[in-house]
Every structure is written in C-alpha cells, then in structure tokens.
Homo-oligomer: A and B are copies of this chain.
Amino acid sequence: MNLLLLSNSTNYGEPYMQWCSSTITSFVKDHSSIIFIPYAGVGFTYDEYTQKVNYALSSFDVKVSNLDNFDDKAKALKDSSAIFVGGGNTFHLLKMLQQFDLLETIQKVVANGKPYVGWSAGSNIASPTIRTTNDMPIVEPKSFQSLSLVPFQINPHYTEKSIPNHGGESRLQRLREFLAANPHQKVIALPESSYLVCNGNQLIYNGRFDGKVITSSGIKAINDQSNVIF
C-alpha cells in the first residue's frame, strides 16, 4: 500500500492546492500516466476540474488525465502510474464509482502497490464507509461502503471551531454521535493542512496542527511526523 491521504486541497485564502502540490508531486515517483478521478466534482465539468488540478501542478511539470474520458475506465486505472482522487461531494464520488463498477478495481491495483493520492472526499472514500464525511447527501449511493484501503474512518477538514452564534452540532459532537452508533470504530480526524502517508503497515501523520484519534474511549492527539498506531 502506498497512500497519501490529505485533509483538504486548499487552505482558507490560499490559491487552489498551494499547500499540498509539492507534497503530492514528490510522493508519486512515476508521473508518466497519472489518472485523475474527478467524480466528486459537481456543478462544473470533469474536464474543467481536471484542468484546474493540472494548472495547480503545472509548476512541477506534472499532468493528470481525466478518468471520465476513457471508454475502458478499469483498464485506464490498471495502466496508470498513480491514481489521484479529488475532493468535492463524497456521495457523488461514491455513487459514480459504484455506477462504473470501479471500487474493486481500485482496491486491487492499490493493494498491488499503485500509489493512491486522495484529498477531502478522495480521502473519505479510502475509509471502510463514508459515514464520517462532512458532505451533504445530495445524491444517493447504492451503499455507504467504500474502498477500505485503511481500517479506520477519516474525518477531513477537521476543526474544533464553529460558526459564531449558530446552533447545530459541533464537529466533535457529530463524530461522538458516529461513535455512539458505531462503538467499535476509530476515527482519525485530519485538520486542514494535514495528511497521512501509508507505506505498507506504517502510517505517518504530518500536519501544522495536531491530528486526533477519536474512539468511544476518548481522544488522543497525534503530533506532526508521528507514527499512528491503529
């Protein structure tokens, strides 16, 4: 397994992918045929989304290809040198992967060592299910089961801040509700500007701020560069 799972593409007020483009391009050694899965994107075309990613990566001389333009999508994934999965809406992303019947193909090629880079929704679907996404369920996937590339749930864009003078649940309250309903699960909460690198069985956390491991029995901080035990 060779996974780079990022919390987010873009920090508040910064250009698209500014904080992570060098991390992503140096994580992937072979840039020859990177496939981009754009299906979390809603409200613009998949080519527009791919162009936006390519623009962000252009200073590293890296170019990705839009999976949606391939007739044989499974073959395109198998033949690729790496797979990038962009953010947007997790429900839409999962529904499209189910519709094209691509989940098993991705699982197989990633199990065989093909690098997988996901951000936001693309990190959510690396978990066993999408039950810890922050997204609105704008479309209905066949099921919430996702790629299970890691044996824990990721919560991207994690924050302990709330909208000022607004009710509704905090993020931590939502994750505690998840754990009340799913007591044996484990959540790794990734604040913006953080990511996990999974190489074989080693899982390293990187972030300007601490990440959190949240379970039914409590919360544990994870520091930058530390090995996450899971």
- Which residues of A line the B interface, CB within 8 A? 8-13, 42-43, 88-89, 92, 120, 129-140, 143-144, 157, 159, 161-169, 174-178, 180-182, 192
Q: Contacts of A132 on B, CB cut-off 8 Å?
A: 136, 138
Quickly give the copy total for this chain.
Answer: 2
Task: Report which residue of A162, A175, A181 has the largest number of chain B beta carbons within 10 angstroms of its beta carbon.
Answer: A181
Contact status A181-B139, CB under 8 Å = yes
Complex alpha-carbon distance, A144 and B134, angstroms: 17
Contact status B159-A166, CB under 8 Å = yes
Q: Contacts of A88 on B, CB cut-off 8 Å?
A: 177
Instruction: Closest B residue to A173 by CB, please name it.
Output: B43
Q: Contacts of A9 on B, CB cut-off 8 Å?
A: 167
* Contact flag A138-B181 (CB < 8 Å), given A161-B163, A165-B12: yes
Complex alpha-carbon distance, A23 and B132, angstroms: 35
Instruction: Closest B residue to A177 by CB, please name it.
Output: B42
In addition to A120-B168, A129-B140, A159-B163, 18 A-B residue pairs with Cβ atoms within 8 Å of each other are A8-B167, A12-B166, A42-B180, A43-B177, A131-B136, A131-B137, A131-B140, A133-B136, A133-B137, A136-B174, A136-B178, A137-B144, A139-B182, A140-B144, A159-B166, A161-B166, A162-B163, A163-B163
